[in-house]
Amino acid sequence: MSDLQLPHINYAALAPMLILFGAACAGILIEAFVPRERRYPVQLGLSLAGVVAAGVAVITQAGTRTITAGGAIAVDGPTVFLQGAILALGLVALLFVGERSLEAGGPFVAQAALIAGSEPDRRQVVRPGATEVYPLMLFAIGGMELFVAANDLLTMFVALEVFSLPLYLMCALARRRRLLSQEAALKYFLLGSYSSGFFLFGIALIYGFAGRVDFAGIHAAALGSDRSNALLYGGLALLSIGLLFKAAAAPFHVWTPDVYQGAPTPVTGFMAACTKVAAFGALLRVLYVAFDRVSWDYRPVLGVVAILTMLVGAVFAVTQTDLKRLLAYSSIANAGYLLVGVLAMSKDGLSSSMFYLVAYGFTVLAAFGTLTLVRDADGEANHLSRWAGLGRRSPVFAAAFTFLLLAFAGIPLTSGFTSKFAVFAAALDDGQTWLVVAGVITSMVLAFPYLRVVVMMWLSEPAESTPTVSIPGVLTSTGLAIGVAATLVLGLVPAPLLDLSTKAAEFVR
Amino acid sequence: MVGSTLPVVGGYLGSYATLGLLLLVGLVFFGVAFGANRLLRPARPASPEGKFATYECGLDPVGGDWAQAQIRYYVYAYLYVLFAVESVFLFPWAVIFDRPDFGMVTVVEMAVFVGVLALGILYAWRKRVLSWT
């Protein structure tokens, strides 16, 4: 017992996470003590300030390469880059969440678990102004920060739960279509807990193999351990299932369309952008730091998963008639393209995947942001047929959405093209031609559903039932402007961000 | 392995031999009891009215079999579990916090930990979860 020592903690390196968790706790206090009418500006201000402050803290750590908190946290290039990405995307998502001009009191209710349609639930639906979503969002962002920085499997698991639990709740907070929203949350929760269980079993098997849970220890044990390799492969398979579930890769994607459709649209955008960054950040760290010595063995398997993901996403996107579901399947296909970058297993693969995450995140946030604007009396009108002729009614809006869809389709001069080019080039350099071939073919298939929406908006006559496009408030306009501008700028001049991601592409072990 | 030649009883798994024997005896007892019952009992099948109703104790069953449980207990149980787990974390801390080099830092860390959990109960209290309505 005499060798028991306090771990050294580098508070500056942990500052982004500490700031976010501190702001989230302060948000709970505000929820408890500030009068209801004044909560909204206070909560929104605190959340924005917390995210910005954490962003500043991340920027000050740009050059840090260290392992701290007793080996539990690694702050290195990818950590800093991905934390910055999560904060930037989280800030834009927060702008959409904070919008109140579209719907009096905002699109959220206070209590997720009240029985839909019951008397208390009806009361909370007509009583606007719930602000519980802001601390939940801060907890989720903080958990994601921790997730991409975790340097051992147990910390990673704790972070997984810290960002998953608020997400489950946020899915059930939609004010319209309560039952659908609760169904989404329940599905996400049940399947998410299964995947967490898989992740834990994986940790147990890996611990059985390596005798340690930190990535450097697993890396060392992979070279030579007297235990059976079945433990290593089994453990890695289970870990990957847990991570690929969060990343929405096939065949672990079945929750995605239902959850994306049922969750409140700003929350869906947040999940599509930030959860994807967090999940792929963790997957990159696990595969590149801990298991790089067995990459020869898992690459074919994950390659099949990548191709399956791209195929499922592209083919099912063609059959969708609901725009949220369409974007959900598109997000599945994009998980496949990201996996192609991940499987390049090189410095280029790492940097191009990180670039892809940022580029895709801004585009998808702006796309879900525009969905919140097309409304009729029942709330958002997401059915594809309702969008017919929207280009005639609101040309500016339809032009922006067209641009975003072209970016998804990977047309040059958009960020979608540069990011896809980067991951495919990295995979080609590494000899993964089969993945690139599959990627290009599915991209062509996937272009069809996007272009169908474009054709529908511009070439159809507006019908009687074509909904109106609401005038966005300041927050949504800002968010949309940032998203569209990022999509354009990363398509025209991708070099600065590519340089940044290349410079950051070095893990510490 | 010392003093045993049977591979099943020896070694690590040998300590489970008693349990296995007990399971076996239990199965045999179950089989014998039900088998004897089946052989010895008189068999006079009849279907008087009400035989297959929920109860045969002379009262007509009223209402459905779905009963409402009192959901309010749930929050209390939840808060109890929260603090029970917290106190488990206090024990290892209480053993080491007065060692040299630990001191104030450790006390503050535990204060932060307890404070965060106290925040939860504070929130529950302000949202009137604790008042029994």
Residue ranges per structural domain of chain A: 11-504
- Domain check: are B37 and B82 in the same one? no
Nearest residue in A to B124, CA atom:
A32
Q: Which of A2, A14, A25 to mutate to test the interface with B (most CBs of B within 10 A)?
A: A25
Kindly report the nearest CA distance between residue A259 and chain B, in angstroms: 27
Residues of A within 8 A of B125 (CB-CB) are 32
Tens of each residue's pLDDT in chain B, 133 residues: 444 455 555 666 677 888 899 999 999 999 999 999 999 988 877 787 767 766 656 666 666 667 666 667 777 888 888 888 888 888 888 888 877 777 788 888 889 989 988 888 888 888 887 777 6
Q: What is the ipTM of this complex?
A: 0.75
Contact between chains at A6 and B123 (C-beta distance less than 8 A): no
Q: Residue A206: CB partners within 8 Å, gap ≥ 6?
A: A153, A213, A218, A231, A232, A235, A236, A239
- Gap between the Cα atoms of B54 and B51, Å rounded: 8
Instruction: Note the pLDDT of residue A1.
Output: 45
Q: For residue B70, which amino acid is it? A: Q
Contact between chains at B102 and A28 (C-beta distance less than 8 A): no
Q: Which of B82, B101, B107, B119 to mutate to test the interface with A (most CBs of A within 10 A)?
A: B119
CA-to-CA dists, residue A122 to A148, A168, A204, A344, angstroms: 39, 21, 45, 52
Contact between chains at B123 and A33 (C-beta distance less than 8 A): no
Instruction: Note the pLDDT of residue B64.
Output: 65
- Gap between the Cα atoms of A77 and A498, Å rounded: 13
- Asked whether residue B67 is domain-assigned, the answer is no
Contact between chains at A32 and B122 (C-beta distance less than 8 A): yes
CB of A2 less than 8 A from some CB of B: no
Residues of B within 8 A of A6 (CB-CB) are 101-102, 105-106
Q: Which residues form the domain of B3? A: 1-45
- Asked whether residue B76 is domain-assigned, the answer is yes
Radius of gyration of chain A (CA): 22
Nearest to A6 among B102, B122, B126 (CB): B102
Residues of A within 8 A of B120 (CB-CB) are 28
Count of domains forming chain B: 2
Instruction: Note the pLDDT of residue B97.
Output: 80
- Gap between the Cα atoms of A112 and A94, Å rounded: 19
Instruction: Note the pLDDT of residue A275.
Output: 93
| Residue from A372, A467, A454 nearest A99 by CA | A372
Nearest residue in A to B109, CA atom:
A6
- Domain check: are B85 and B121 in the same one? yes
- Domain check: are B79 and B39 in the same one? no
CB of A32 less than 8 A from some CB of B: yes
CB of A29 less than 8 A from some CB of B: yes
Residues of A within 8 A of B105 (CB-CB) are 6
Instruction: Note the pLDDT of residue A167.
Output: 94
CA-to-CA dists, residue A433 to A85, A404, A436, A438, A485, angstroms: 29, 28, 5, 9, 33
Kindly report the nearest CA distance between residue B126 and chain A, in angstroms: 5
- Gap between the Cα atoms of A265 and A382, Å rounded: 10
| Residue from A268, A349, A253 nearest A308 by CA | A253
A187 class by beta-carbon count within 10 Å (0-12 exposed, 13-18 middle, 19+ buried) = middle
Residues of A within 8 A of B99 (CB-CB) are 4
Whether the pTM exceeds 0.90: the reply is no
- Domain check: are B122 and B76 in the same one? yes
CB of A463 less than 8 A from some CB of B: no
Contact between chains at A4 and B119 (C-beta distance less than 8 A): no
- Asked whether residue B122 is domain-assigned, the answer is yes
Residues of B within 8 A of A31 (CB-CB) are 123, 126
Mean pLDDT in consecutive groups of 10 residues from the start of chain A, 509 residues: 69 90 93 87 93 92 83 88 94 91 80 79 80 92 93 92 93 87 92 93 92 88 80 90 91 92 92 93 91 85 92 91 91 93 88 92 93 82 83 86 90 89 90 89 91 88 77 88 92 88 83
Nearest to B101 among A6, A32, A33 (CB): A6
Kindly report the nearest CA distance between residue A207 and chain B, in angstroms: 22
Q: Residue A416: CB partners within 8 Å, gap ≥ 6?
A: A359, A360, A363, A406, A407, A408, A409, A410, A487, A491
Helix (H) and strand (E) counts in chain B:
3, 0
- Gap between the Cα atoms of B84 and A335, Å rounded: 41
Nearest to A32 among B96, B105, B126 (CB): B126
Longest dimension (CA), chain B: 82
Nearest to B119 among A4, A5, A28 (CB): A28
Residues of A within 8 A of B119 (CB-CB) are 25, 28-29
Residues in chain B: 133
Interface list for chain B against chain A, based on CB atoms closer than 8 Å: 96, 99, 101-102, 105-106, 116, 119-120, 122-123, 125-127
Instruction: Note the pLDDT of residue A329.
Output: 93
Residues of B within 8 A of A25 (CB-CB) are 116, 119
